[in-house]
Amino acid sequence: MIPSPSQSLIELGPITIHFYALCIITGVAAAVFIGNKRYVNSGGASGVVGDVAIYAVPAGIIGGRLYHVATSPQRYFGEGGKPIDALYIWQGGLGIWGAISLGTLIAFLAYRRINKNQEISFSIFADALAPGLLIAQAIGRIGNWFNIELFGRPLDTFWALQVPLRYRPSGYSQFETFHPTFLYESIWCLIAALVIVKWKIFKKLRSGSVFISYVALYSLGRLWIESLRIDDANLILGLRLNIWTSLFLLGFSLLLLWKRSFQRPTASKIKN
C-alpha cells in the first residue's frame, strides 16, 4: 500500500513550512518555466510569462479558494465550522475551476497591459501556457498526499492509500485503504500534457485550441476521478457539483473545438 506521510510541515524556529504550499510553489515555478520557453519559441519576448504570472498566480489562488469555499460552505459556515479556516489555504482546498477562471481572466488583462503592441495574441500566449499548467496541477496534487485528503472509495490493492483513522470520513472508519484519487489526477495531468505537446494535430489548429484542448482533456479525466471521491460535496440530482462542472466544460470545449475545425487555421507555431 501507499503509506500516508507522518507529517505535513516542518518548523524552522518561528517559521512553519507546509509541504502543501511547497508543492503549489514548485508547480507554479514549473508552469512559468515551461510556459516561458514555449512562448519564446512562438516568437514572444522572454520574461513576459513571468510578468503576467505576478498577477495571474495570486488571482488563481484566490479564485481557487473562493470556488472551494463556495462549493463546500458547510465546512466553514455549517455547524461546528470555523469561518476563519476559510483563510487557511495551506490546509488544502483549492478548486481548480475557480483557479483557472479567475487566473485566466487576470492573465488576459495583465497580458494586454504588458504586451501593448499585441504582436502575439493572447490565444497564442494561452497555448504556450497549457502544458505547463497541467504539470503544475500534477505537482500540486502531491500536496494533497501530504495533507492526507482527496482520496476516494475504499480499495484493497497494492497501490491503495493507507489512511489513519482520524482522517477517514464518517461511515468509513472500518476501512484502512482507499483510492489515491489525487495520484490518479496527477498522472492524468502528465498524460494530458504529453498528448498536447506530442500530438502533431495541435500544431495545425487555430491558436487558442491547445488551451481549449487542455480544458477538455482535464475535464474528461476529472469526470472519472471525481466519481471515486467520498469527501463531502454539494450534490445536484445525486451527482457531485464538480461532475456537473466537468461535464459542462467538457461539452463546451468540445463544441468550441468542433466549431474551430471549420475555420481557417492560424497555428501558434510553437516548437515543442
CB-based burial label for 201 (10 Å; 0-12, 13-18, 19+): exposed
- Domain assignments of the chain as residue spans, ordered by start: 15-260
Counting residues of the chain whose pLDDT is more than 90, the rounded percentage is 55
Angle between helices 209-228 and 122-146 (to 10 degrees): 20
Q: What is the pLDDT of residues 91-103, one digit of tens each?
A: 666 788 888 899 9
- Identify the three-state secondary structure at position 162: strand
Phi and psi, residue 178, nearest 5°: -140, 165
Q: What is the pLDDT of residues 165-200, one digit of tens each?
A: 999 988 899 999 999 999 999 999 999 999 998 876
Q: Is the pTM of this model over 0.85?
A: yes
**If you search the block for the grid coordinates 484566490, which residue do you land on?**
62
Contact in structure between 209 and 193 (CB atoms under 8 Å): no
Helix axes 122-146, 181-198, angle to 10 degrees: 150
Q: Residues in the chain, how many? A: 272
Report residue 21 CA to chain centroid gap: 14
